[in-house]
Amino acid sequence: MTRPWAPLASEPEVPLAARAAATYHALTGIDPVDADIADDDSFDRHILASIIAVARAGGLDVAARVGLAEEDLALLLAERFPRAMMSMLTRGATDSLDEEAAMVRDLLLGQRSTAGETGGWLACMVARRSIEPNHLWEDLGLRNRGELSRLLMRHFAPLASRNTRNMRWKRFFYRMLCEDDGFVMCTTPVCTNCSDFDLCFGEESGESRMADRRREWLSRSVGVSIEGAVGEAVPG
């Protein structure tokens, strides 16, 4: 039987990457690998869909997982993804941002470089996803780190342009909070003397772990009907 919507997070046989891809497809009508992000509007739409998709793959409380109030998520969906089934995406409780994420959100909101709602939504979403455990670009569901750098340079240019040493973005936020708000991350005033140097400046590129896991799962599924597992929303 073909399902009209992306599989639920509670379906253990479907890995997170496939669930995220299915939700992305349901939002945009295309697979994430096919997204054309040449112009800024298409890029913003891709970014928003990616974040919502990876959040929904983790659970049904999507608003909480993307760091938006339910009414803001509903507005975002109505404006950007009118074909989406809003009632499914907005189901679940909404938590307020924890203290750490709220500090990152305020840091971003204070240094916006675009007008309109999208930058405000993204400040909340990037901040909320920054408390997840992986590289930030992965926890935003993006295809590579370059997309995160472009997002930040586009919407938060005054802040992003200060990352002149190509520091990992999540660590860079905390470094900025150290300087601006007395948040404690740095144990030394000089990076070259710091035992956390690799955490802040280590390799952050490469292929998304999500893509890796999805490919693994697809290769294990040879001979198994993909349609039977996750329905038509999963791209081939």
CB of residue 155 to ligand SF4, shortest distance in Å: 23
Q: Which is nearer to ligand SF4, 165 or 220 (CB)?
A: 165
Answer for the pair 127, 97: CB distance below 8 angstroms, yes or no. Answer: yes
Instruction: By CB under 6 A, name the binding residues for ligand SF4.
Output: 171, 175, 185-186, 188, 191, 194, 196-197, 200
> For residue 5, is it left (φ>0), alpha (ψ between -120 and 50) or beta?
beta
Nearer to ligand SF4 (CB atom), residue 37 or residue 185: 185
Q: Which residue lies nearer to ligand SF4 by CB, 89 or 200?
A: 200
**Cβ proximity of 148 and 56 under 8 Å:** no
Q: Which is nearer to ligand SF4, 157 or 191 (CB)?
A: 191
Q: How far is the CB of 1 from ligand SF4 (least distance, A)?
A: 52
Looking at the Cβ atoms of 26 and 167, the one nearer to ligand SF4 is 167
Q: Minimum distance between the CB of residue 69 and ligand SF4, rounded to whole angstroms? A: 32
Question: CA 71, 42, 125: angle at the middle one, nearest 5?
Answer: 40
Q: How far is the CB of 99 from ligand SF4 (least distance, A)?
A: 19
* Least distance between ligand SF4 and beta carbon 97 (Å): 23
